[in-house]
């Protein structure tokens, strides 16, 4: 497209919004950088769409501020804000063609006819719909509709593009392709994208930063890496990806290189285990211990290297699930009976070792570095 | 092969049975709808009998008599009263239908719209007489408030005819509009506003074009009965607010010119038919478009599937 548009910094400060007794947003504050691809991630009813609608101007908060580049936008109706929205259901005008849909905002502004034509064709080309320009929306496939919605939202040259679960109505494969397209588009236009989704894999794969929300509150804001590797709360740990999570108590803590090596007592696992963390924890503090299934090794022979900081358990495979690139094993530990999830990647044939089957007796082990202590326990 | 054949013959049998299912309805319509219509068409081309009835002789006299300037006046009046009343009905029904569609209490509101139908229409017209008359409810209130000293002439004029017609036929406009607006995707209004339209602009540019079929139905459903109305102008109209319906009644019962009454009925039937055909054609056009679309979508989906599977291989 040649030129890049200008993004704005979007700040929501202490935004609260209730519907009767239901608190959709409870003192939410986020600062979204200029040109950032920012995701609001959470289960349905967590308030992410409400926050988006407040930023767009379709809803107003009971209290709090919404600023675009430091300027208060709350007094302005949606048509006066520098934001445009891509709706979950696309919201294409069924009585207008692709061309007319995309031209709609320009015609409202009484832009010169030739200028409209030039710009519409430019944006149609940007979203690769050149051959469908004269079709009505109901003649388009889901992915094409979605692209029309994006072109229509971008033609006004907004500073913020708000995307309300734009891919949720599409099938998985198409979703992946469009997600990549969306990411490329963001790089091309350079404006701020605020992306609402309940799908953690979507959010992880395209966002610069993510705000994880639940029950109207922001639980954690961070890069996809931070959110996955260092979840701030129990909810975040469980919601992002799959994990094994158990309550634990710190029993010892000592310095180990530039980190701290701790032993924690985990009742669900039946004994104390090792875990490292960047900061020391006081002894006796109750926390949650989490270890991602893909970081656990599963073997029939006991792990050979019994070096310090490896936690090893013995159990029986209760449920092997083959899913192509990886296998999932649900291993029931001896004595305690706790089930540990283990994902084993299939690298290549030689690497896989002896096949592990149902009711096999196995060892599961992980390094202290791969465990993580979740500091906040949800009420 | 044989299974397919079996299915086909059973389908055929079902289709044959379908005719017999529809037979009672068919007989009913033929006897009570088509037959009277044929009689009216026939009578309109016959000579009038001296004391009512007809003489079996072809004649266009009835149609010639219609060009009487007095009748012309009534026809014009009928047209403008119908147009004005229909326009008001639609203008009132659009916001009502919108409010109902967006309300949480749809069933209750629908119920409220339907309740008046439980009362005979004549009784409801008489109720309006007691509301509007010089000593009526409305005037008495104004008098007791000291706004006027003498009762206003609110009844027996064109205004009261139009007012009561609107009252009588408003539900016929509200119901179809409500059903179409209820199916309308309100996020389109959000989208229009997001793209720069004002609140009113969004409704005009996006909602109205998308509830076209409901608008058409509402117009036809109100215009046709209003055009043929005769009790309302008879009971709340003045001497000069007669409509075609009144002429027909007069020609049948007073003047006893049955061919002329039939000829006027023909006009009413013609107007209704044109209206219904218009409605059917536009809805068929819409449907054809949709059908076309689904076919096209199917082929496109096939192409798409082909591409994706091709890409994988």
User: Structural domains in chain A?
Assistant: 10-238 (3.40.50.300), 246-374 (2.40.50.100)
Q: What is the pLDDT of residue A305?
A: 66
Nearest residue of A to residue B187 by CA position?
A: A91
Q: What are phi and psi of A135, to 5 degrees?
A: -85, 155
* B154-185: burial string, b at 16+ Cβ within 10 Å, e else: bbbbbbbbbbbbbbbbbbbbbbbbbbbbbebb
Cβ within 8 Å, pair B297-A152: no
Nearest residue of B to residue A104 by CA position?
A: B195
Residues of A in contact with B193 (CB under 8 A): 58, 77-79
Task: Compute the Cα dihedral for A311, A314, A317, A322 and give only its sign.
Answer: positive
Minimum-distance CB partner of A77 among B188, B193, B209: B193
Which residues are A161's β-sheet partners? A84, A193
Residues of A in contact with B187 (CB under 8 A): 87-89, 91
Residues of A in contact with B290 (CB under 8 A): 138
Is residue B308's pLDDT more than 50? Answer: no
Cβ within 8 Å, pair A79-B194: yes
Distance CA A16, CA A176 (A): 34
Q: What is the pLDDT of residue B313?
A: 30
Is residue A255's pLDDT more than 50? Answer: yes
Distance CA A186, CA A178 (A): 12
Minimum-distance CB partner of A89 among B185, B192, B196: B185
Cβ within 8 Å, pair A85-B194: yes
Of A109, A96, A72, A155, which is closest to residue B196 (Cα–Cα)? A109
Distance from CA of B89 to the nearest CA of A (A): 25
Nearest residue of A to residue B198 by CA position?
A: A79
Residues of B at the A interface, defined by Cβ within 8 angstroms: 185, 187-188, 190-198, 201, 205-206, 209-210, 212, 289-290, 293, 296-297, 300-301, 304, 308
Q: What is the pLDDT of residue B275?
A: 85
Token digits of residue B107: 């069933």
Sheet of A297-299, strand order: A297-299, A361-367, A310-323, A326-333, A339-345
Distance from CA of A180 to the nearest CA of B (A): 16
Query: With respect to CATH, is domain B72-298 assigned 1.10.3720.10?
Result: yes
Residues of A at the B interface, defined by Cβ within 8 angstroms: 56-58, 77-79, 83-85, 87-89, 91-95, 104-105, 108-109, 136, 138-139, 141, 152-153, 156, 173
Q: What are phi and psi of A297, to 5 degrees?
A: -95, 140
Cβ within 8 Å, pair A85-B201: no
Query: What pLDDT digit, counting tens, does each position of A289-325 carry?
Result: 999 999 999 988 888 766 678 899 999 999 888 888 8
User: pLDDT confidence of B57, banded at 50, 70, 90?
Assistant: confident
Token digits of residue B101: 């569609």
Query: What pLDDT digit, counting tens, does each position of A23-40 carry?
Result: 999 999 999 999 999 999
ipTM of this model? 0.80
Sheet of A37-41, strand order: A83-86, A160-164, A192-197, A37-41, A209-214, A217-222
Cβ within 8 Å, pair B196-A105: yes
**Neighbouring residues of B40: CB distance < 8 A, sequence distance ≥ 6:** B262, B265, B266, B269
Residues of A in contact with B300 (CB under 8 A): 139, 141
Cβ within 8 Å, pair B198-A95: no
Residues of A in contact with B210 (CB under 8 A): 93-95
Nearest residue of A to residue B212 by CA position?
A: A95
Cβ within 8 Å, pair A108-B304: no
Cβ within 8 Å, pair B191-A85: yes
Count residue pairs from A and B with Cβ separation < 8 A: 72
Is residue B291's pLDDT more than 70? Answer: no
Q: What is the pLDDT of residue B152?
A: 82
Residues of A in contact with B201 (CB under 8 A): 108
Is residue B285's pLDDT more than 90? Answer: no
Token digits of residue A201: 């894999």
Q: Which residue has the higher pLDDT, A107 or B16?
A: A107
With contact defined as beta carbons under 8 Å apart, do A244 and A293 qualify?
Answer: yes
Query: What pLDDT digit, counting tens, does each position of B102-121 carry?
Result: 999 999 999 999 998 899 99
**Which secondary structure element, helix H or strand E, spans residue A83, and what is its range?**
strand A83-86
Is residue B5's pLDDT more than 60? Answer: no
Q: Which residue has the higher pLDDT, B77 or A375?
A: B77
Cβ within 8 Å, pair B193-A79: yes
Distance from CA of B99 to the nearest CA of A (A): 18
Instruction: Report chain A's mean pLDDT, rounded to a whole number.
Output: 90
Q: In chain A, pLDDT over 70 holds for what percent of residues?
A: 96
**Neighbouring residues of A176: CB distance < 8 A, sequence distance ≥ 6:** none
Residues of B in contact with A77 (CB under 8 A): 193
Minimum-distance CB partner of A95 among B201, B209, B296: B209
Poorest-pLDDT segment among A264-273, A302-311, B125-134: A302-311
Distance CA B239, CA A38 (A): 74
Cβ within 8 Å, pair A156-B196: yes
Is residue B200's pLDDT more than 80? Answer: yes
> Would you kindly state where each structural domain of chain B is located, as residue ranges?
72-298
CA angle B123, B129, B130 (to 5 degrees): 95
Distance CA A224, CA B165 (A): 66
Q: What is the pLDDT of residue A342?
A: 93
Interhelix angle for A142-154 vs A98-108, to 10°?
20
User: pLDDT confidence of A86, banded at 50, 70, 90?
Assistant: very high
Minimum-distance CB partner of B297 among A95, A141, A173: A141
Q: What is the pLDDT of residue B164?
A: 95
Mean local confidence (pLDDT), A202-219: 94
Residues of B in contact with A50 (CB under 8 A): none
Residues of B in contact with A153 (CB under 8 A): 194-195
Cβ within 8 Å, pair B308-A173: yes
Minimum-distance CB partner of A104 among B185, B195, B293: B195
Q: What is the pLDDT of residue A348?
A: 67
Is residue B181's pLDDT more than 90? Answer: yes
Q: Which residue has the higher pLDDT, A349 or B262?
A: B262
Residues of A in contact with B194 (CB under 8 A): 56-58, 78-79, 83-85, 153
With contact defined as beta carbons under 8 Å apart, do A147 and A127 qualify?
Answer: yes
Distance CA B310, CA B308 (A): 5
């Amino acid at each position: 497209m040649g030129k890049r548009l200008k993004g704005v910094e979007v700040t929501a400060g202490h935004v609260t919004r209730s519907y009767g007794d239901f608190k959709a947003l409870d003192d939410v504050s986020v600062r979204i950088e200029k040109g950032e691809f920012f995701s609001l991630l959470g289960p349905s009813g967590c308030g992410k769409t409400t926050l988006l609608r407040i930023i767009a101007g379709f809803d107003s908060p009971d209290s709090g501020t919404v600023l675009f580049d430091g300027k208060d936008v709350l007094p302005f109706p949606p048509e006066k804000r520098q934001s445009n929205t891509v709706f979950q259901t696309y919201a294409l005008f069924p009585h207008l063609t692709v061309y007319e849909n995309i031209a709609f905002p320009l015609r409202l502004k009484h832009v010169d006819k030739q200028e409209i034509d030039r710009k519409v064709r430019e944006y149609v080309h940007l979203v690769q719909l050149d051959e469908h320009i004269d079709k009505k929306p109901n003649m388009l496939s889901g992915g094409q509709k979605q692209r029309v919605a994006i072109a229509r939202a971008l033609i006004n040259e907004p500073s913020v593009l708000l995307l309300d679960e734009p891919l949720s109505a599409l099938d998985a494969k198409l979703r992946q392709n469009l997600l990549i397209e969306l990411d490329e588009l963001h790089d091309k236009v350079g404006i701020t994208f605020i992306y609402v989704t309940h799908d953690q894999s979507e959010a992880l794969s395209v966002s610069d930063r993510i705000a994880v929300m639940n029950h109207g509150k922001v639980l954690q804001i961070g890069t996809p890496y931070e959110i996955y590797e260092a979840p701030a709360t129990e909810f975040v740990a469980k919601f992002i990806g799959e994990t094994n999570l158990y309550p634990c108590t710190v029993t010892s803590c000592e310095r180990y290189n530039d980190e701290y090596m701790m032993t924690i007592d985990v009742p669900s696992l039946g004994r104390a285990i090792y875990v490292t963390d960047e900061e020391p924890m006081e002894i006796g503090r109750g926390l949650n211990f989490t270890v991602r299934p893909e970081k656990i090794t599963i073997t029939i022979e006991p792990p050979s290297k019994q070096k310090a900081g490896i936690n090893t358990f013995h159990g029986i495979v209760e449920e092997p699930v083959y899913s192509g690139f990886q296998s999932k094993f649900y291993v029931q530990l001896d004595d305690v009976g706790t089930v540990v999830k283990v994902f084993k990647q299939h690298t290549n044939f030689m690497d896989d070792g002896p096949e592990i089957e149902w009711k096999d007796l196995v060892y599961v082990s992980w390094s202290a570095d791969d465990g993580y202590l979740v500091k906040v326990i949800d009420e | 092969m044989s299974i397919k054949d079996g299915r086909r013959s059973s389908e055929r049998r079902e289709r044959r049975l379908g005719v017999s299912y529809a037979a009672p309805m068919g007989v009913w319509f033929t006897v009570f709808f088509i037959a009277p219509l044929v009689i009216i068409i026939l009578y309109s081309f016959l000579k009038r009998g001296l004391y009512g009835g007809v003489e079996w002789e072809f004649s266009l006299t009835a149609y010639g008599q219609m060009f009487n300037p007095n009748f012309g006046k009534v026809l014009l009046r009928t047209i403008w009263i119908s147009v004005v009343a229909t326009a008001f009905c639609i203008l009132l029904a659009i916001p009502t239908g919108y409010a109902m569609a967006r309300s949480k209490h749809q069933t209750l509101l629908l119920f409220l719209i339907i309740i008046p139908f439980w009362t005979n229409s004549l009784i409801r017209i008489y109720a309006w007489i007691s509301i509007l008359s010089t000593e009526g409810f409305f005037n008495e209130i104004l008098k007791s408030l000291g706004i006027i000293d003498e009762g206003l002439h609110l009844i027996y004029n064109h205004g009261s005819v139009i007012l009561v017609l609107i009252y009588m036929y408003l539900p016929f406009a509200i119901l179809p509009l409500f059903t179409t607006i209820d199916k309308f995707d309100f996020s389109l209004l959000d989208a229009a506003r997001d793209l720069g339209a004002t609140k009113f602009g969004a409704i005009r540019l996006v909602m109205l074009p998308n509830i076209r079929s409901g608008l058409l139905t509402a117009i036809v459903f109100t215009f046709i009965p209003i055009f043929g109305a005769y009790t309302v102008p008879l009971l709340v109209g003045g001497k000069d607010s007669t409509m075609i319906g009144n002429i027909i009644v007069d020609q049948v019962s007073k003047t006893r010119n049955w061919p002329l009454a039939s000829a006027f009925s023909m006009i009413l039937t013609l107007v209704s038919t044109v209206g219904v055909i218009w409605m059917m054609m536009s809805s068929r056009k819409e449907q054809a478009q949709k059908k076309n679309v689904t076919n096209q979508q199917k082929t496109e989906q096939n192409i798409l599937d082909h591409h994706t599977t091709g890409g994988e291989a």
